[in-house]
Amino acid sequence: MASLQDQLRGLVYSTEHGDICPDCRQPQQECRCAELVDQARIAALDGIVRIRRETSGRKGKGVTTITGLPLASAELKALAKTLKKRCGTGGSVHAGVIEIQGDHRELLKAELERLGHTVKLAGG
């Protein structure tokens, strides 16, 4: 006979609580896993925002990446939206990195410095 812990291991939904987080085994409304990941990512940063132009893995299309922002996921998405609008182009947020389509390093540097961040242009 399996223990209660073994029975809960594969649980993804409970009629009493709804969806269950697979990591912490708490109901989704009480889960704080995303906040803990954001806190760990922010704690590992050195306080310098780095802007670089990248083309690798994008079939030669250039994107400007912004790393090192000490913001939680929701704030990062809001900032990305503002920066995309400022550049007049598309982009996305992946794993704490903002990607803006095209080469907008100087414009983004000026905008982030205006917002009070320490910015460094990285790469060539």
Q: For residue 65, how far is the Cα from the chain centroid?
A: 12
Q: Specify the pLDDT at position 123.
A: 75
CA–CA separation, 68 vs 96, rounded Å? 8
Q: How many domains does the chain have?
A: 1
Tell me if 89 is assigned to some domain.
yes
CA–CA separation, 96 vs 5, rounded Å? 33
Q: Count CB neighbours of 21 within 10 A.
A: 16
The residue range of the domain holding 75 is 47-121
CA–CA separation, 66 vs 64, rounded Å? 7
Q: Specify the pLDDT at position 39.
A: 64
Q: Tell me, what CATH number does 112's domain have?
A: 3.30.780.10
Tell me if 37 is assigned to some domain.
no
Q: Print pLDDT tens along the chain (124 aa).
A: 454 444 555 666 666 667 777 777 778 778 777 777 666 666 566 778 899 998 877 777 889 999 888 888 888 999 999 999 999 999 999 888 899 999 999 999 999 999 888 898 887 6
Structure tokens at 33: 């896993």
Q: Judge whether 66 and 98 are in contact, CB under 8 Å.
A: yes
pTM: 0.67
Tell me if 14 is assigned to some domain.
no
Tell me if 23 is assigned to some domain.
no
